[in-house]
Structure 1
Amino acid sequence: MSSANRPRGATAIRAEQPALANFRLPRLKVRRGHVVAGALVVGCLVIALGLDTEESPKPDLQVASSEAAVTAEAAPLQHEKPATGLPEPALSVPVEAPWEEQVVRSGDNLSLIFKRAGYSDKEVHRIVTESADGKGLARIYPGQTIAFQGDAAGKLISVRHVKNELETIAYTLDEHGVSSKTLAREPEKRVSTATGVITSSLFLAGQEAGLSHTTIMDMANIFGGVIDFVGDPRKGDTMHLIFEELYLDGSKFDDGEIIAASYTNQGKTYTAYRYTDAQGDTGYYNEDGVSMRKAFLLAPVDFTRISSNFNPRRIHPIYKTARPHRGTDYAAPTGTPVYAAGDGRVIKAGYSRANGNYVFIQHGEQFVTRYLHLHKRRVKQGQKVDQSQVIGTVGSTGAATGPHLHYEFLMNGVHRNPRTIHKKLPKAKSLPQTEMAQFSASISSVTTELAQLQEDMDTRLAMTRPDDDRG
């Protein structure tokens, strides 16, 4: 406190000194008992003032000599834990042992990977034999990650098998054995829309609309029973999709399912909606509840151009003789996937000089499909196959002038034109009438959204059409 502001007749006490250093009682004649009582009063004042020479701020005591009264200027009281004068104990935060990651290389096995990480075949054997998921660790693929964690002594205590971005298997090793658990992540689903106009091909139109190759092929498979995307699409056809995209940590991770789609081919519109029926089976149905999945695909190959149609009188390009061409040739680059046209069983799979690598599939009692000149076969005789399953790849083996698929369709042993026989094939199944109300309710919102996409497309096309075409 400055001398200008110091109260008259008051004595300032240095904050650095103990509070009792300059404290003086008035010289009064008192009895011994009074002295004791006075000492007790002073003691109480000391306790009340909470004097602390180390941590608490020092109050300025003022002694009024005329009245022998003591006052103090103290800081406001706070509800805090009383100071003990002892240092606060440090928090003990356990530090996790570091992880060492090994990326699976081509030709790797568990023994090699564990050795690179500094561990022996003993640990490999423990995990594979003692853990419930151990056999799964033995099935590793290039690009996957295996991480190792050891203790301070270098002993292996944990292993992580990162199978993909969504699934990790964690193994823990201790004196009791090896335990494992699956760590799964769920991607975020975001709904997107896309529209496109066919100018040259479905694939290019899909790319221009921002669709991935996977989504384009999924759409082709959905409509594969009613549209031959090799021969049917025409310039000016339109497509509209409502589909899911999967995100992880804010970035696109993968393509999701198509929720609804429509394709207008030469003025006729086909519509498909994804729906799970009462039995738990998921498929695509048109607005009337009729399944889009037909008994056979119209084109059993990734859509491209057709080099030769069904022609019973054509001249063979190699043998130069009039040999019936009882099928359809689909020209495509070597390695293009070839699909099973329908569910069935492989009755023949082999090689001949004329057919090259071939696969024959029996579908029920009436139908057989044949696939010739394959580069590679992916199925064996006697194997059961599903519609759209890859059974081989396009090639030019046997009597072929270039890479293509020769596809034949037989009904009761007679060759039929694969592009027209579908009109005589069994009808697709429909949802039961008891389920139609639920189906209609489930597709209500996407039906409206799909119609809006079609309307917006029609408006844009009308605005860009030349004046003399608007008539």
Structure 2
Amino acid sequence: MSQPDHGHARKQRFQERLHVLHDTALHRKLKQHFPAAFNERWTRRHWIHASLFATIGALAATIVPGFSNSIEQVLPVSQATLALPLPPLPPTHRSEVPGDSWQVLRVEPGQTLSGLFASVGVPATVMHQVLEHPGTREVLTRLRPGAEIAFDLPVDGELRALRFDRDANHRVQLSLQGGKIQEQVLERVTSTRTVVTSGEITSSLYAAARKAGLSPSAIATMTEEIFNYDIDFSREVQRGDRFSVVLDETWREGERIDTSKILAATFTTGGKTYTGFRYEHGGKTEYFDIDGRPLKKSFMRMPVSYTRISSTFGMRKHPVLGTIRGHKGIDYAARTGTPIMAAGDARVQFAGTQRGYGNVVILDHGRGYSTLYGHMSRFGKIKAGQRVSQGTVIGYVGMTGLATGPHLHYEFRVNGQQRNPASVTMPPPEPLKGAALVAFRAQTAPAMARIRGMEEMLYARAGGDKPATAAADKRG
């Protein structure tokens, strides 16, 4: 063999050896990265596991909808959310955002306006600012028990708005913005229905009237405006007495808000039936009997409401002095603070302290008539020389002077001589005549018909005869 051939053969053997070494190194490298099952000879157990996994994969691809397709889809790119701080909401805009922040309060007996504001955390300075708004003080300072007042108080606690009823038909909303008050008046629709009700006294007049559906204001109208001049409710009312009332009910948004307007009423006691009919004429509203005679007399029988007589007119043993002496008036027991009304139109003759009477008021009614009110806890807004109308509150029940308990000592004087207030007679007022009487009968005819229908049904059920009216007795 020649020398070139020998060198070529040696070179070829060297290259083959390099290929073998390269393949061996690559095989070792791959063997480190693959599981042992791929680097060794598979056994029967390996083939069984591989067949089982292949079968499960085929079943999953068949049962799960879209599984095979989703494998081929490109995975979505992951996204990250970054929270950025927002600028604070301007106060002017925040105050305009509506929300349920109204707090509605119902006025309780004895509760003051300042107490209402304080209960919701509104300072007195804001209350005075509200009261300075025109027309607000007159309404808010005269809120009666049961009235509602609403405060719009957002999270920051500052009063945003105030809402109250000015009357039955109007609601006022005051908005407080930037130290200024803006007023909005909302009209509230009301409806009126006329109803008739009746009752029989079994325990007390008040209980029977409430059972019949009369409100406290309606009871006061019946006892103080209609029959107060003819019936002494402290001693003449008894079990079995009956009453019937025709009245207007005012409704608003499904709620009965007023029942004080009595159109007609009857009251049967002591075998007599007294009647009263509401009639408007000459710019005034008064109550008249069935013959058109005004029920309002020159004097009221009782200058206080819902009381009892604790001492009558005449001789008695004085509860403090212990001596037998004449009692020149009638004592009406009542709670301290019960309002005392002027028995008739008069001029205040005296208001001050006088011996055993304590705090006393004397009224001069003219024509020789005068009345005295003793043992008051305090006086009303009156002073000597002032003119007062019948029904004006002149003071409040107390026990000043010689008294063992709260009551009113009431005297009725004629030319300086004490008379029994329960039995003294006064000349009756003049009845309506001519055109006024015709108008009265036309205006009160519907209420009169309903009263008569109710009474006929009541007395038919009772199985008795209807008592004669007081007007019929007077004519007889």
Matched, 1:182 2:185: yes
After superposition, the C-alpha distances for 1:168-221 in whole angstroms (9 at most, x for unaligned) are 33457899x866453343532222222122334322332332323322221112
**Matched letter for residue 390 of structure 2:** Q
- Determine if contact 1:147/1:159 at 8 Å carries over to the other structure: yes
Partner of 1:247: 251
**How has the CA–CA distance of structure 1 residues 350 and 101 changed in structure 2, closer, same or farther, with 3 Å as cutoff?**
farther
Deviation at 1:337, TM superposition (A): 3.1
Aligned partner (choices 236, 258, 267) of residue 232 of structure 1: 236
- Determine if contact 1:346/1:359 at 8 Å carries over to the other structure: yes
**How has the CA–CA distance of structure 1 residues 213 and 161 changed in structure 2, closer, same or farther, with 3 Å as cutoff?**
closer
Larger relative contact order (CA 8 Å, sep ≥ 6): 2
Q: Matched residues in 1 for 2:235 and 2:139: separation?
A: 47
Q: How does 1:311-350 map to 2 (within 5 A)?
A: 311=314, 313-350=315-352
Q: How does 1:153-302 map to 2 (within 5 A)?
A: 159-163=161-165, 166=168, 167-171=170-174, 180-221=183-224, 222-277=226-281, 279-302=282-305
Q: Name the SS of the counterpart of 1:323 in structure 2.
A: strand
Partner of 1:354: 356
Gaps of 5+ in 1: 1-94, 464-471
Q: Matched residues in 1 for 2:153 and 2:376: separation?
A: 48
Deviation at 1:264, TM superposition (A): 1.6
Q: Matched residues in 2 for 1:108 and 1:209: separation?
A: 33
**Matched letter for residue 231 of structure 1:** R
After superposition, the C-alpha distances for 1:236-291 in whole angstroms (9 at most, x for unaligned) are 322111112222211222323111001122111111111111x1211111121111
**How has the CA–CA distance of structure 1 residues 419 and 145 changed in structure 2, closer, same or farther, with 3 Å as cutoff?**
closer
Deviation at 1:134, TM superposition (A): 6.7
- Determine if contact 1:192/1:242 at 8 Å carries over to the other structure: yes
Partner of 1:381: 383
Q: Matched residues in 1 for 2:361 and 2:453: separation?
A: 45
Q: Matched residues in 1 for 2:127 and 2:197: separation?
A: 51
Partner of 2:437: 436
**Matched letter for residue 226 of structure 1:** D
After superposition, the C-alpha distances for 1:291-326 in whole angstroms (9 at most, x for unaligned) are 111111112221433222211x33322223343211
Partner of 2:418: 415
Larger Rg: 2
Q: Name the SS of the counterpart of 1:204 in structure 2.
A: helix
Gaps of 5+ in 2: 1-95, 465-476
- Determine if contact 1:101/1:145 at 8 Å carries over to the other structure: no
- Determine if contact 1:338/1:391 at 8 Å carries over to the other structure: yes
- Determine if contact 2:197/2:244 at 8 Å carries over to the other structure: yes
- Determine if contact 1:274/1:282 at 8 Å carries over to the other structure: yes
Q: Matched residues in 2 for 1:140 and 1:273: separation?
A: 29
Partner of 1:16: none
Q: Matched residues in 2 for 1:149 and 1:335: separation?
A: 36
Partner of 2:459: 458
| Higher share of residues assigned helix | 2
Q: Name the SS of the counterpart of 1:396 in structure 2.
A: coil
**How has the CA–CA distance of structure 1 residues 137 and 376 changed in structure 2, closer, same or farther, with 3 Å as cutoff?**
closer
**Matched letter for residue 216 of structure 2:** H
Residue identity over aligned pairs, in percent, reads: 34
Q: Name the SS of the counterpart of 1:229 in structure 2.
A: coil
Q: Matched residues in 1 for 2:367 and 2:404: separation?
A: 34
**How has the CA–CA distance of structure 1 residues 136 and 197 changed in structure 2, closer, same or farther, with 3 Å as cutoff?**
closer
Deviation at 1:165, TM superposition (A): 7.1
Partner of 2:369: 367
Q: Matched residues in 2 for 1:315 and 1:239: separation?
A: 38
| Range moving further from structure 2, 437-446 or 138-147 | 138-147
Partner of 2:398: 395
